[in-house]
Amino acid sequence: MRPTVAADAARLLRTGDLHFRPALQGTPRRPRAGGYTAGMATPAQHAPQPHAIVVENLVFDYPGQRALHGVSFSVARGAVAALVGPNGAGKTTLLSCVAALLRPVAGTVLVDGVDMLAHPREGHRRIGYLKDFFGLYDALSVRQTLWHAARVQGVVTARCDEVVAAVAGDLDLEPLLHKPAGALSRGQRQRLAIARTLVHGPAVLLLDEPASGLDPEARADLAALMRRLRDAGTTLLVSSHILAELAEYSSEMLIIRDGRLLEQRSLHGEPGARSLRMELCVPPAGVPAVLAAYPGVSDARVDGDALVFAFHGDAAQRHRLLRACLDAGVAVAGLAESGAGLQREYLQRMRAGAPDGR
Amino acid sequence: MNPELQRYLWLELTPHRLLVTPLLLLALFALVHLLADQGTLRALAEVSYWVVLAIGVLWGGRVAGEAVSGELAHGTWDQQRLSSLGPWAMTWGKLLGAAVFTWYACAPCIVLIALGARPDAPALDAPGDALLLVTIVLFCHAIGLLGSLHLAARGRIESGRWGMLLQLAGLALAVPLLLVGIAAFGAGWSGEVRWFGMDVTLRVFVWCSAMAFTAWAVTACYRLMRVELQLRNAPWVWIAFVLFCMGYAAGFAWSGEPSAVVLIDGARIDAERLALLSAHASALGLGYLMLLLEAKDPVAWAMLLDAVRRGRIATALEHMPRWACVLPLLAAVTLAAWWWDVAGRLLCASLLVFFVRDAALVVLLNLGARPARADTAALLYLMVLYVLLPAVVLAAGGSAHGWLLPSMHGDLASAVLPGALQAALLWWLVRARWRRHQAAWH
């Protein structure tokens, strides 16, 4: 889409009240006043607009320093975008602008159809944002923390107990509901903070270094949660330095450096596809015909002893693909999601973009 | 229920506090009962006044002052800003919630005050006194919250030094009202206040003043909360407040008697014209207050200049520093004084140019290498300019009026021109530093 459609959307938002121009800009999905439901709702079901996040020509200044130089990008509904870049590149500033915590000098930010600069409070009902450094009210219990988060995000009182129970169940916080937040471990606090951002059932999640400081087990749990959210159709924009984990659930990558967006690329071809790696018993001479012609497969290539390709399909379809390859005589030794692609592509891009070529 | 208030109820009204506070108050009241040598209820009411002063005003003002700065310190404020709660709900939730425990402790005392009014006072006066006290306590809390929001606007980094200053400034405003209330309570509210020529009973005047200033303080909290929640404010409410204060101050000078004359520094000024000078002085005071308290944001200044260049008046007004909004009012009063041939017209003009000079000094320092210390440095320089240097000149046998201090004597050239030249020089330096700043920026 990008500039044209984004600019049109922004213009429409500027010229008319969001709620009174449904025919022109698509009916903005109402925020879920009912809040979180187990497994989350699927925003894409009712989505009139293809992009959950549209950022156009975003400029942000700190005193004496330009932090963002006309950044433009969009994230498709249901996509998981990895926001990567070196320290000081502007990732946190960009996320804060998208979340309407910082007011940019110029530009437009649309989240779930809401102009975040014109209607920040309306926009906050539709997003959840976990900052890298977050605080909790240590004296409040886990249940009180989640109840308060639900209420301030507009969940009706009658539904609060239900959504708190649902989100606590999904994040394994049920045994801790009556424990004060101050008594939780680092990983438990992180889960509580994530639960707090999810409790109102946002259509878009912004996560800034969500795995920072977590032990390996907690990171694995976090990655599993990200996959569940992705599968349920939530749009995620995740900033992290741990690229191998981002690769597990990200569908596209935004590379930012010195306040400029260097590149936005899909990691798996079309949105919703996943990068798979098929290990073979012997190095292949080329991409087998059965794989190249299989529905849902794209961008297939040979990578050493393996075949790497994008595949659009669920677990059952992956099973059928595997069976088809075996039936065709392909010497398959294993099939798994590829986690190395993002890191490789990031490093290639950063080296290509480095002033000294390193 | 307001979720912010609910959160404070959970945090502040713990079972321990709910149980112990009434026991402590009961013990205090029992002691007063045993020691009172005359009417117990009256003695309890008087002690209750001091309890409200200690808990409601001092402690309550302190906790209200931490309502936002405390959240900044603990990293929870951004999460609050991400909520979809509106600015008004957030304001009153914090205003009542942050100090909810002090209200819990003060409630029985306020009831005792209402019951313990003088036996000869009209029946309706006792609840009125209690309501006045509630209003004054609320005013203190609003001032505390206002200070906290100012700290948040100033970059979320300064806590102790400015927090304490704002706290003291709030108390400086609130305590006189409270002391007047206490004195009036003890004296049975005898006495009158002359305001715009009207004789108003002290009770009514204090009551109306407390109500009005509390309403303004709460409005100010709401407006600053809007800014924190990324909503935009035009300066009209601030200008309305300045006009209100100008009128309020002028009312004391405007006696309504044409023959009333006041002598100021040897000059005879009739009361009506003195009212004009009072209005000027109050606007000037508010201008200086905002000049030192308001956040100085070069990014907002750049956006202001850009909006002016593009002719976007509404955007320019949103970014206009509030001290600058006082300038047209000061200029209008000065012109009126000039037109009316008021004896203090030179003083008005002189004060105006010195204010413009001081604003340039503050802006210049804030564009320097260490803007975090700029306001403190500006305060120091202003003390040197207004106290130390004039004292040196005076000790040397010279006169500081005109060049170092505003003057009401002489003519335009001697009273106003020196200040205007200093202002022009400083604004020229601001322009040069701004250009260097912009060049380094982009």
Tell whether A63 lies on the interface with B, counting CB pairs under 8 A. Answer: yes
- pLDDT averaged over every residue in chain A: 78
User: Which has the closest alpha carbon to A155: A124, A116, A114, A109?
Assistant: A124
Helix residue spans in B233-297 (DSSP H): 236-253, 271-293
Amino acid at A211: A
Q: Are B104 and B21 in contact (CB under 8 A)?
A: yes
CB atoms under 10 Å from CB of A165, counted, come to: 17
A63: left (phi > 0), else alpha (psi -120 to 50), else beta? beta
The answer to whether A105 contacts B78, with C-beta atoms less than 8 Å apart, is: no
Output the pLDDT for position A352. 66
Report how far Cα A85 is from the mean position of its chain's Cα atoms: 16
Q: What's the burial of A324, exposed, middle or buried (CB within 10 Å: 0-12/13-18/19+)?
A: middle
The two three-digit tokens of residue B302, written as one number = 């750049």
The answer to whether A63 contacts B299, with C-beta atoms less than 8 Å apart, is: yes
Report how far Cα A240 is from the mean position of its chain's Cα atoms: 11
pLDDT tens digits for A74-116? 998 888 888 988 888 889 999 999 999 998 988 999 998 889 9
The pLDDT of A123-148, averaged and rounded, is 91
Over its C-alpha atoms, chain A yields an Rg (Å, rounded) of 21
Q: What's the burial of B37, exposed, middle or buried (CB within 10 Å: 0-12/13-18/19+)?
A: exposed
Output the pLDDT for position B267. 60
B contacts of A148 (beta carbons < 8 Å): 3, 6-7
Residue B11 to residue A139: CA distance in whole angstroms: 7
Tell whether A100 lies on the interface with B, counting CB pairs under 8 A. Answer: yes
Q: Are strands A235-239 and A204-208 parallel, antiparallel or unpaired?
A: parallel
User: Which has the closest alpha carbon to A196: A168, A169, A174, A220?
Assistant: A168
The A residues from 194 to 253 touching B (CB cutoff 8 Å) are 196
Output the pLDDT for position A171. 84
The pLDDT of A128-135, averaged and rounded, is 88
Identify the DSSP state of A88. Answer: T
Output the pLDDT for position B131. 82
CB atoms under 10 Å from CB of B191, counted, come to: 12
CB atoms under 10 Å from CB of A46, counted, come to: 11
Identify the DSSP state of A59. Answer: E
A contacts of B83 (beta carbons < 8 Å): 124, 149, 152-153
What confidence tier does A3 reach under pLDDT thresholds 50, 70, 90? very low
Q: Quick one: CA dihedral B121, B126, B131, B137, positive or negative? A: positive
CB atoms under 10 Å from CB of B316, counted, come to: 17
The answer to whether A101 contacts B7, with C-beta atoms less than 8 Å apart, is: no
List, for chain B, all residue ranges whose pLDDT scores fall below the cut of 50. 122-124, 157, 159
Output the pLDDT for position A357. 41
- Among candidates A103, A133, A151 on the partner chain, residue whose Cβ is nearest the Cβ of B230: A103
Output the pLDDT for position B188. 57
DSSP per-residue letters across B210-224: HHHHHHHHHHHHHHH
The pLDDT of A284-304, averaged and rounded, is 84
Output the pLDDT for position B409. 76
The answer to whether A105 contacts B302, with C-beta atoms less than 8 Å apart, is: yes
The SS3 of residue A285 is coil
Task: Give me the percent of chain A exceeding a pLDDT of 90.
Answer: 21
Residues belonging to chain B with any Cβ–Cβ distance to chain A shorter than 8 Å? 3-4, 6-7, 10-11, 71, 74-86, 229-231, 297-299, 302-303, 371, 437, 440-442
Q: Are B181 and B136 in contact (CB under 8 A)?
A: yes
CB atoms under 10 Å from CB of B66, counted, come to: 20
The two three-digit tokens of residue B27, written as one number = 């013990």
Q: Are B426 and B360 in contact (CB under 8 A)?
A: yes
Residue A221 to residue A188: CA distance in whole angstroms: 11
The two three-digit tokens of residue B93, written as one number = 């939730």
Output the pLDDT for position A292. 86
What confidence tier does A145 reach under pLDDT thresholds 50, 70, 90? very high
Output the pLDDT for position A38. 47
A112: left (phi > 0), else alpha (psi -120 to 50), else beta? left
CA angle A57, A60, A62 (to 5 degrees): 165
What confidence tier does A351 reach under pLDDT thresholds 50, 70, 90? low
The answer to whether B79 contacts A196, with C-beta atoms less than 8 Å apart, is: yes
The answer to whether A127 contacts B82, with C-beta atoms less than 8 Å apart, is: yes
Output the pLDDT for position B352. 94
Question: Nearest chain A Cα to B306, which residue?
Answer: A105
The SS3 of residue B198 is strand
User: Which has the closest alpha carbon to B48: B139, B143, B126?
Assistant: B126
Prediction pTM value: 0.81
Output the pLDDT for position A271. 52
Residue B406 backbone dihedrals phi, psi, to 5 degrees? -60, 150
Question: Nearest chain B Cα to A120, which residue?
Answer: B230
Helix residue spans in B116-235 (DSSP H): 125-153, 160-186, 202-228
Residue B249 to residue A211: CA distance in whole angstroms: 59
Output the pLDDT for position B150. 84
CB atoms under 10 Å from CB of B193, counted, come to: 16
The answer to whether A99 contacts B4, with C-beta atoms less than 8 Å apart, is: no
Output the pLDDT for position B226. 93
The two three-digit tokens of residue B78, written as one number = 């951004």
Question: Nearest chain B Cα to A154, which residue?
Answer: B84
The answer to whether A133 contacts B7, with C-beta atoms less than 8 Å apart, is: no
Q: Quick one: CA dihedral B28, B33, B37, B43, positive or negative? A: positive
Residue A97 backbone dihedrals phi, psi, to 5 degrees? -70, -40
The answer to whether A100 contacts B230, with C-beta atoms less than 8 Å apart, is: yes
Residue B98 to residue A324: CA distance in whole angstroms: 66
Output the pLDDT for position B119. 52
The SS3 of residue A55 is strand
Q: What's the burial of B442, exposed, middle or buried (CB within 10 Å: 0-12/13-18/19+)?
A: exposed
pLDDT tens digits for A262-276? 888 777 655 556 778
Architecture in CATH of A3-266: 3-Layer(aba) Sandwich (3.40)
First-to-final CA distance of chain A: 33
Output the pLDDT for position A30. 47
The SS3 of residue A309 is strand
Output the pLDDT for position A20. 25
Task: Give me the percent of chain A exceeding a pLDDT of 70.
Answer: 79
Output the pLDDT for position A26. 34
**Adjacent-strand bridge partners of A310:** A275, A298
The SS3 of residue A320 is helix
pLDDT tens digits for B92-142? 999 999 999 999 999 998 888 877 765 555 444 667 777 888 888 898 899
Tell whether A289 lies on the interface with B, counting CB pairs under 8 A. Answer: no
Output the pLDDT for position B299. 85
